[in-house]
Amino acid sequence: MTDILIEGGETLVDSALVPASIHVADDIIAEISSRPAPVSLRLDSKGLLALPGIVDMHGDAFERQMMPRPGVDFPIDVALVDSDRQAIANGITTVFHAATWSWEPGLRGAENAHRLIDAIGDLQPRLAADTRFHLRQEIFNLDAEPTIAGWLAAGRVNLLAFNDHMHMTESSMANPKKRARMLERSGVSEAEFDTIVARVRSRKGEVRDSIARLAALARTHHVPLLSHDDESPEQRAEFRDLGVRIAEFPINEHTARAAINDGDFTVFGAPNVVRGGSHTGWTSAADMVSKGLCSILASDYYYPAPLIAAFLLAADNVLPFPQAWALVSGAPAVATGLHDRGQIANGKRADIILVDASDPLRPHIVAVIAGGHLVHITEPQRLRISAPAVRRVEPA
């Protein structure tokens, strides 16, 4: 066990940045105070901000490590270890890998879903971030229901989201470029893909009951539920009735407002904030934040985005910084049931990042403590290792 004292900078405590030292011991935050403590490792945070680690409840950037080009696969253990390094280097200490299990074969097919859930379990000891499985179930993927039910019962799924991209697939079938991308991702011939789509579409009448059964099982096992791309208040209400209290990327303002008004969480993409709008042309996340309609920001497809987005919202006077940071740390921790993190407070899990925000539009990570362990540092000169006391023994 290594005691760590972070001292000299400002710390986000109780929604305010204050001068304070943080003593980490036994993987938790032991004390926040202004007084020194005897420790084996000191970390000088002068000029830096100590913030609770980012909790990223929806990120699929790891897919680019698995398949950096269409049809080009890399070993999943290599992909996950590299994704872990990227997440940690961007201040993400809790990461939910959002894995889509679709009726399509290929990158988002059954084989990769099995490989990913197994690899996360096997690799946990090697990963610096607390890495969890966010299963995005394509609702037309009816053949997967028995397996998912088993995973839920076994505690292997940490979040379950309901996705429906069938209408997008249907609209893309007549677009040569989009059709070509779908074929590349699935790895099957054009005729095979058409046959698969026709077969899956023919079972539309079974979808609603499958959603209800999986939602009930997830509630039984205390797995938070999400719906993806809600299109209307009526659709949000249908999901809410099933216990789905997190709306991911509602596509318009009145749907987001309906979610917030009924006490649901709403999730938008941090890349949307950083880029100044949605790459799909849908709702502006910064606009949703300014109107109080965004509860959580997630990395979505780009790990650096949550860190930058929080500082950008503060710099643009959309939100005070402590509230902006809550969108990427405290709120997603609460929404996912992880009440041991998301704040810097006595007794909480020691997930702490040190940030140089001298340029608020380009904050960068200097050090990361995850689960009480120093796992990343870019300025090693800030470290001070205390020599253990040596007891002198006088000769007889």
Are both 119 and 185 inside the same structural domain? yes
Same domain, 176 and 148: yes
Taking the C-alpha atoms of residue 92 and residue 351, their distance in angstroms, rounded to an integer, is 9
Domain count across the chain: 2
- Looking at the structure, tell me whether residues 156 and 76 fall in a common domain: yes
Cβ atoms of 161 and 137 closer than 8 Å: yes
Is 328's pLDDT higher than 50?
yes
Answer yes or no: do 75 and 46 share one domain: no
CATH number at residue 39: 2.30.40.10
* Domain encompassing residue 220: 53-335
Torsion angle defined by CA atoms of residues 32, 33, 35 and 40, in that order, rounded to the nearest 10 degrees: 10
Band of pLDDT at residue 177, cut at 50, 70 and 90 = confident
Rg of the chain over Cα atoms, rounded to whole angstroms, equals 23
pLDDT tens digit sequence for 189-221: 878 888 888 888 899 999 999 999 999 999 999
Instruction: Provide the angle, in degrees to the nearest 10, between the axes of the packed helices 207-220 and 145-153.
Output: 10
pLDDT for 310 beyond 90: yes
Quick one: which of 127, 133, 117 has its CA closest to 224?
Answer: 133
The verdict on 278 and 351 lying in the same domain is no
pLDDT for 58 beyond 50: yes
Is residue 41 located within the same domain as residue 57? no
Residue 395 domain-assigned? no
CATH classification at residue 67: 3.20.20.140
Cβ pair 365, 373 in contact under 8 A: no
